[in-house]
């Protein structure tokens, strides 16, 4: 009837409009459905569920994504991983026993049985309708050829969540078909190994940018090594954790194993697991802490920059309700000395209480934020300098000036936000702004320029983190002075 209709809903996800590329999370894991051959960008839990389905008891991917968005995360590139020899369900749309079109489920697994298809043929035209879990989701509308129907299905963001289409016989139209389910595929999730997860990491290519990478499904030393290798190759940081039952001693041993890896400055290790709500009221679940850590990292990057750690007051939880093991000051110090970042209950809220990397080079990479800043410089330089590729080398040093100007602009901006540490003398005079840029003839001889190679050199001093505050309190009696 006429009038005003108002509906309400609940929004989860980031509360800030600023979304920096470096705040992204890259993650691989098991899901109910969806493609397993590409990375999918999602910016809310609802978007994730539209593509990959809802909660499943034998996977940590869904609750990790949920925790990420509930705790203030922004963007996730997710890859669904399936087992070896996984199969896709599907159905052939026929005419007189001959296949005209084929619909194939968009992703392996038995979930394809929940997709139904109906064909309505009017003689000279037809339409294809799709249903998911008995709900109507899509129609091609009236089309006059199988090629036209296939084009509409494959170009539809809705239809392609469920199926892809292919033409078998362009000269025929499919016959009328009552509502019929696709055949069942098989995900073979029970056979998934670290090798499959590592293959999934390969789909998170460098074109997607910088950020943090994680695999909530596996906490093995092998997978941790794969994540560190990936992080180094793609200028990202790896967020690592051990199994749920891991003790403090075992966490320190695992972190020590990571320290022995090349490029361990790209990794940070967190302990223990965290407690989060489930869809059943009053029921909680323990999950790896990486979704929570990634969310607070995203919050820090979006609010201030890559140099701000995902720790302390900023990391106060609003969705995470507890931790697997209570960490006190003594055990927290023990973890810190072992290059493990503790997750603690402070003032009745869960907080991250560490920002260490796993690097033994503590002069340069004690904190994971220091690698994050370097990664951000690399990413910004790639993006800014790409426009200068194929510039003429004209003999007037124009290209040197352009490269230098763009690099200085990147570094000066980061200095202004506090990511870089300027140096001053005893009289307060600026010695350097925290960075240097060199691109001139001294590092670009004519013989090198003749081959089309132009070099630049950047030096930077990354800001550290004040993770300890020490105060000396001296008591005086009534007959002595207060000092």
Residues 105 and 219 in one domain: no
Give me the pLDDT at residue 283, please: 83
Q: Examine the pLDDT at 92 and tell me if it is beyond 90.
A: yes
Q: Examine the pLDDT at 12 and tell me if it is beyond 60.
A: no
Q: Examine the pLDDT at 272 and tell me if it is beyond 80.
A: yes
55 burial (CB, 10 Å; 0-12 / 13-18 / 19+) is middle
Q: What is the 3-state secondary structure (H, E, C) of 432-467?
A: ECCEEEECCCCCCCHHHHHCCCCCCEEEECECCCCC
Higher pLDDT: 481 or 256? It is: 256
Q: Examine the pLDDT at 10 and tell me if it is beyond 70.
A: no
pLDDT digits (tens, 9 = 90+) for 110-133: 999 999 999 999 999 999 999 999
CATH number of the domain encompassing residue 197: 3.40.50.11780
Q: CA 269, CA 358: separation in Å to the nearest integer?
A: 7
Alpha helices in 138-272 (DSSP H): 146-155, 194-202, 221-233, 248-259
Residues 350 and 232 in one domain: yes
Give me the pLDDT at residue 176, please: 96
Give me the pLDDT at residue 278, please: 85
Among 124, 154, 181, the domain boundary falls at: 181
Q: CA 454, CA 82: separation in Å to the nearest integer?
A: 44
Report the pLDDT averaged over residues 80-108: 95
Cα→Cα distances 159→53, 129, 132, Å: 15, 10, 10
Residues 33 and 143 in one domain: no
Among 140, 156, 181, the domain boundary falls at: 181
Residues 76 and 96 in one domain: no
Sign of CA dihedral 69, 72, 74, 78: negative
Residues in the chain, how many?
483
CATH number of the domain encompassing residue 114: 2.60.40.4290
Whether 375 is in a domain gets the answer no
Residues 205 and 244 in one domain: yes
List the structure tokens of 94.
């026929």
Q: CA 239, CA 288: separation in Å to the nearest integer?
A: 10
Report the pLDDT averaged over residues 270-284: 89
Whole domain around residue 405: which residue ranges? 392-483
Q: Examine the pLDDT at 17 and tell me if it is beyond 90.
A: no
pLDDT digits (tens, 9 = 90+) for 52-90: 999 998 999 999 999 999 999 999 999 999 999 999 999
Q: What is the DSSP string of 262-299?
A: TTGGGEEEEES-EEEE-SSTT-EEEE-THHHHHHHHHH
Residues 331 and 298 in one domain: yes
Angle at the Cα of 45 from the Cα atoms of 42 and 49, rounded to 5 degrees: 85
List the structure tokens of 131.
């249903």
Name, in order, each residue with C-beta under 8 angstroms of 356's C-beta and a sequence gap of 6 or more. 268, 269, 336, 339, 340, 341, 366, 367, 368
Residues 212 and 306 in one domain: yes
Nearest in space to 239 (alpha carbons), one of 290, 170, 180: 290
Residues 345 and 200 in one domain: yes
**Count of structural domains within the chain:** 3
List the structure tokens of 205.
């290519």
Lowest mean pLDDT among 132-136, 322-326, 349-353, 473-477: 473-477
Among 164, 181, 198, the domain boundary falls at: 181
Residues 135 and 266 in one domain: no
Report the pLDDT averaged over residues 301-306: 94
Sign of CA dihedral 404, 409, 412, 418: negative
Helical packing angle, 194-202 and 221-233, nearest 10°: 10
Give me the pLDDT at residue 19, please: 83
Residues 104 and 200 in one domain: no
Under the banding of pLDDT at 50, 70 and 90, the label for residue 427 is confident
Lowest mean pLDDT among 19-23, 143-147, 159-163, 358-362: 19-23
pLDDT digits (tens, 9 = 90+) for 331-357: 999 999 999 999 999 999 999 999 999
Q: CA 459, CA 343: separation in Å to the nearest integer?
A: 34
CB-side neighbour CA atoms (13 Å) of 399 = 19
pLDDT > 70 fraction of the chain, expressed in percent and rounded: 96
Whether 11 is in a domain gets the answer no
Distance of alpha carbon 431 from its chain centroid, rounded? 38
Residues 431 and 460 in one domain: yes
Whether 6 is in a domain gets the answer no
Residues 428 and 481 in one domain: yes
Q: Average pLDDT over the chain, rounded to whole?
A: 93
């Amino acid at each position: 009837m006429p009038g005003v209709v108002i509906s309400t809903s609940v929004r989860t996800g980031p509360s800030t409009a600023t979304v920096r590329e470096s705040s992204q999370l890259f993650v691989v894991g098991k899901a109910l459905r969806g493609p397993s051959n590409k990375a999918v960008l999602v910016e809310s839990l609802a978007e994730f569920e539209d593509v990959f389905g809802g909660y499943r008891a034998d996977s940590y991917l869904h609750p990790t994504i949920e925790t990420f968005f509930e705790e203030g995360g922004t963007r996730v590139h997710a890859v669904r991983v399936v087992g070896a020899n996984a199969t896709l369900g599907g159905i052939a749309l026929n005419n007189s026993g001959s296949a005209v079109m084929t619909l194939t489920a968009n992703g392996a697994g038995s979930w394809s049985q929940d997709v139904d298809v109906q064909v309505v043929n009017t003689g000279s035209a037809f339409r294809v309708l799709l249903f998911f879990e008995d709900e109507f989701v899509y129609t091609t509308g009236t089309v006059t050829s199988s090629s036209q129907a296939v084009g509409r299905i494959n170009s539809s963001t809705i239809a392609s969540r469920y199926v892809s289409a292919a033409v078998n016989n362009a000269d025929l139209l499919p016959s009328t078909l009552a509502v019929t389910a696709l055949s069942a595929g098989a995900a073979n999730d029970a056979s998934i190994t670290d090798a499959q997860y590592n293959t999934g990491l390969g789909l998170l290519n460098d074109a997607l940018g910088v950020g943090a990478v994680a695999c909530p499904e596996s906490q093995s030393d092998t997978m941790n090594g794969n994540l560190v290798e990936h992080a180094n190759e793609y200028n990202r940081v790896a967020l690592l954790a051990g199994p749920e039952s891991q003790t403090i001693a075992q966490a320190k041993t695992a972190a020590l194993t990571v320290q022995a890896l090349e490029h361990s400055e790209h990794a940070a290790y967190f302990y223990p697991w965290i407690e989060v709500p489930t869809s059943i009221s009053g029921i909680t679940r323990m999950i790896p802490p990486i979704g929570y850590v990634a969310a607070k990292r995203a919050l820090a990057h979006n609010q201030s920059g890559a140099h701000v750690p995902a720790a302390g007051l900023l990391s106060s939880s609003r969705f995470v309700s507890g931790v697997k093991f209570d960490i006190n000051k003594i055990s927290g110090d023990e973890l810190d000395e072992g290059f493990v970042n503790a997750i603690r209950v402070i003032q009745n809220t869960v907080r991250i209480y560490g920002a260490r990397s796993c690097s033994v080079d503590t002069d340069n990479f004690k904190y994971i934020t220091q690698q994050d800043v370097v990664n951000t410089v690399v990413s910004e330089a790639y993006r800014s300098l790409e426009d200068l590729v194929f510039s003429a080398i004209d003999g007037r040093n124009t290209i040197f000036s352009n490269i230098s100007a763009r690099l200085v602009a990147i570094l000066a901006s980061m200095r202004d936000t506090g990511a870089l540490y300027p140096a001053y003398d005893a009289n307060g005079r600026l010695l350097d702004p925290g960075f240097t840029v060199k691109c001139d003839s001294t590092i670009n001889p004519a013989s090198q320029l003749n081959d089309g190679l132009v070099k630049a050199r950047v030096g930077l001093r990354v800001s550290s983190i004040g993770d300890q505050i020490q105060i000396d309190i001296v008591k005086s009696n009534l007959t002595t002075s207060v000092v």
